[in-house]
Amino acid sequence: MIVYDLKCAQGHRFEGWFSSADDYSSQRDRSILSCPACGVADVERVLSAPRLNMGAAEKPSMPAEFKDKDPLAIAQMLYSRMLDEMLSKSEDVGNRFPEEARKIYYEEAAARAIRGTATQAEHDELVDEGIPVARLPVPPAGKLN
């Protein structure tokens, strides 16, 4: 297998895995390659370091801090780290979340990481507008262990 970095005419970058260089050329020439983001068939290779997939990847070793620990304890520790990172690098806008998310999306406010609360209906409206949001279970401040 050979892995190429590709780019479509719209500028989206993605990887393509091919059995050979000829396989890539054949697929490109027959216009059966397309961008997974937008579907455009105008795709070209971009400069990249060559990579060959020679079979199964070596199993990554487990970090020492995780060895001999309960998988649930590891998951809780990683979740706690993720929460700490998210909380320290985002602005809490509280119940103004839907309004602030729209302002950022429509470039009426500076782009930044925000968090807050939204009802299910408000969340669904944001998604319907194409605004990328995610519901994350964040315990209230003071309730974190």
Q: What is the pLDDT of residues 68-86, one digit of tens each?
A: 888 898 888 888 888 888 8
Per-residue pLDDT of 17-63, as tens digits, reads 988 889 988 888 888 888 888 888 888 998 876 666 666 666 777 77
Rg over CA atoms, the chain: 22
Percent of the chain with pLDDT over 70: 88
What pLDDT sits at residue 77?
A: 87
Domain boundaries, the chain: 2-52, 65-128
Per-residue pLDDT of 110-131, as tens digits, reads 999 999 999 999 999 999 999 9
Residue 55 Ramachandran class (φ > 0 left, ψ -120 to 50 alpha, else beta) = left
By mean pLDDT, which of 83-87, 108-112, 131-135, 141-145 is the weakest?
Answer: 141-145
Res. 143: pLDDT tops 80: no
Residue 39 in tokens: 């579907």
- Kindly state the greatest CA–CA separation across the chain: 60
